[in-house]
């Protein structure tokens, strides 16, 4: 027996609304869109919440309705939606998602948009670019750079072997295997060679920046399902960022750019620190709709004229 979408959607939506809890870092997940994403996934077409069809859902037969109810139970138990559908949208790209790496957030698109604008501008002036992305996670930023800027040669790294495996799947999923190279290692260590030192046009990082104490207070949907290493930034939340700021100038070419995401309250202090750093000549900050700085870009000092 087939159950048409129109006869079951409203009932299932009421069920979703009873257990649904909104999370600030996933504003795209409304009850309606959540149900559509799970519905499509149950019918054999896994899709992110951003890409879920909302006007033309396929009909459910007995098997797909049973699968949908199983998926709803997993979501009710607190499993992240992106882990159930194995999909997450980022900067318009449909990515594979899973527990191996941080689920890409909308807030990171602030960094992504700023980075792509700068990379595009440099590509028009310079042609081919050497781009690094560290703490790459699922390769969401690295893949976006390669996808949207054909002149970018992108190299990315992560300390987690599982994250690198997921990143490699995403690069292949998007057909970018010839454009993005992935390496295993801590921050910039995999690139500590003449090929990269002083030659990088653009270096980005979405680092762990939550303090160790606050990690323990995070919502169970995050703390119990996403890797702690993707959040834990040490006692004050900035230990990885400090390491990045210390080492980045060795890799940037004169006039190259450093770009990174920051947590709530961290932006003003880090921007001032970069403004005082003689290795950089310009600092730009990018805020969310509430006015909170969420991304910082800094330009390395151009070479002195001979």
* Residue 96 domain flag: no
Domain of residue 235, residue span = 108-300
149 and 262 together in one domain? yes
How many other C-beta atoms lie within 10 A of the C-beta of residue 150?
9
| Structural domain count of the chain | 2
In this prediction, residue 92 carries a pLDDT of 96
Last residue of a domain, one of 30, 50, 85: 85
- Choose the final residue of a domain: 70, 85, 100: 85
Q: Mark whether 145 and 293 lie in a shared domain.
A: yes
Q: Determine the 3-state secondary structure of 193 from DSSP.
A: coil
pLDDT in tens, 25-55: 888 899 999 999 999 999 999 999 999 987 7
Question: pTM of the prediction?
Answer: 0.93
Calculate the average pLDDT of the chain.
92
Q: Could you tell me if 48 and 184 lie in one domain?
A: no
Residue 65 lies in a domain: yes
Same domain, 11 and 116: no
Residue 242, strand partner residues: none
Mean pLDDT of 228-253: 87
Same domain, 123 and 252: yes
DSSP helix/strand/coil, 4: coil
Residue 275 has a CB neighbour count (10 Å cut-off) of 12
In a domain, 99, yes or no: no
The reply to whether 91 falls in a domain is no
One domain for residues 137 and 254: yes
Looking at the structure, tell me whether residues 155 and 229 fall in a common domain.
yes
């Amino acid at each position: 027996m087939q159950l048409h979408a129109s006869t079951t959607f409203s009932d299932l939506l009421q069920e979703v609304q009873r257990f649904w809890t909104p999370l600030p870092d996933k504003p795209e997940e409304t009850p309606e869109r959540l149900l559509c994403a799970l519905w499509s996934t149950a019918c054999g077409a896994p899709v992110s919440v951003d890409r879920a069809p909302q006007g033309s859902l396929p009909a459910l037969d007995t098997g797909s309705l049973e699968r949908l109810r199983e998926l709803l139970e997993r979501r009710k138990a607190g499993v992240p939606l992106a882990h159930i559908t194995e999909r997450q949208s980022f900067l318009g790209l449909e990515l594979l998602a899973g527990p191996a790496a941080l689920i890409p957030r909308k807030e990171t698109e602030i960094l992504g948009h700023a980075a792509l604008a700068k990379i595009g501008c440099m590509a028009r002036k310079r042609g081919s670019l050497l781009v690094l992305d560290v703490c790459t996670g699922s390769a969401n930023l690295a893949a976006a750079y390669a996808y949207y800027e054909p002149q970018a040669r992108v190299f990315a790294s992560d300390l987690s072997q599982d994250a690198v495996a997921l990143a490699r799947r995403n690069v292949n999923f998007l057909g970018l295997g010839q454009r993005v190279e992935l390496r295993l290692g801590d921050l910039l260590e995999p690139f500590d060679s003449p090929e990269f030192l002083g030659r990088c046009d653009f270096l980005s990082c979405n680092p762990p920046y939550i303090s160790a104490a606050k990690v323990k207070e995070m919502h169970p949907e995050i703390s119990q399902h996403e890797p702690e290493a993707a959040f834990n930034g040490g006692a004050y939340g900035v230990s990885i960022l400090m390491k990045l700021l210390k080492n980045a100038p060795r890799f940037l070419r004169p006039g190259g750019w450093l770009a990174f995401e920051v947590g709530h309250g961290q932006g003003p202090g880090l921007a001032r620190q970069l403004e005082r750093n003689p290795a950089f000549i310009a600092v730009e900050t990018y805020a969310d709709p509430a006015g909170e700085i969420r991304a910082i870009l800094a330009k390395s000092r151009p070479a002195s004229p001979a």
